[in-house]
Structure 1
Amino acid sequence: MNVPEDLRYTKDHEWVRVVDGPLVRIGITDYAQDALGDVVFVQVPESGSSIDLGATVSEVESTKSVSEIYAPVSGQVVEVNAELGDAPERLNEDPYGEGWICVIQVSDPGQLDGLLDDAGYRSLIEE
């Protein structure tokens, strides 16, 4: 499994990339997309909506199941990847690039400290 060193991770298999200051981009990990199988639909959050840590931020439907994606941080959604509506398979093809879900302006930067680093996430998925 691909686990980039420059990201932070949740135990629920979301990733976080700090974009600029309080802005973070989020998505699902390579491990998560592999477990889901072929993604056929992605519901992205509304731009401008407020998100609480641990709340559902998105929903992903695959040929195997429907899975909720949880917010790794609290904040406001400032950008969404609207292209996933027409090309949900990007979550499978490029989970750390074109398959991102949204950008959140973090309300409490300290929440980032509670996320796993790449070594911690590798340990989690190898259990």
Structure 2
Amino acid sequence: MKALWARTTGLDRLIVAVLLLGILASFFLLGARPQGERVLVERGGRLLFSAPLAENRVVDLEGPLGITRLEIRDGQVRILASPCPTKACIGMGAIACAGEMLACVPNELLVRIEGAGKGAAHDLLSR
């Protein structure tokens, strides 16, 4: 490590320090999102389901492949079960902040959190 440090210039060290500070700042900015208030589930641009995050419940939602099971608990929402082949939507975990999303692409479901704050702005239009 000492040999590597000896070969670096002052500019190299400055660049590394700025990058590390940027990484640390991004963690603080990502954690500053407002808490969500409602969960919205859409398919094909149509609203299928809406509920407050404060209301604990399990909901079964119909999609082209079958039923996707959604759980709302303790102010968070997650996908418990899905008929999609890769189960990537289940692996996304729980979301709770305004602007966060879960998507089950094979079953054509989009789960998003809405809150008092604006949250993250996403453009999901693709044709």
TM-score between both structures, scaled by the size of structure 2: 0.27
Q: Which has the higher contact order (CA 8 A, sep 6+)?
A: 1
Larger radius of gyration: 2
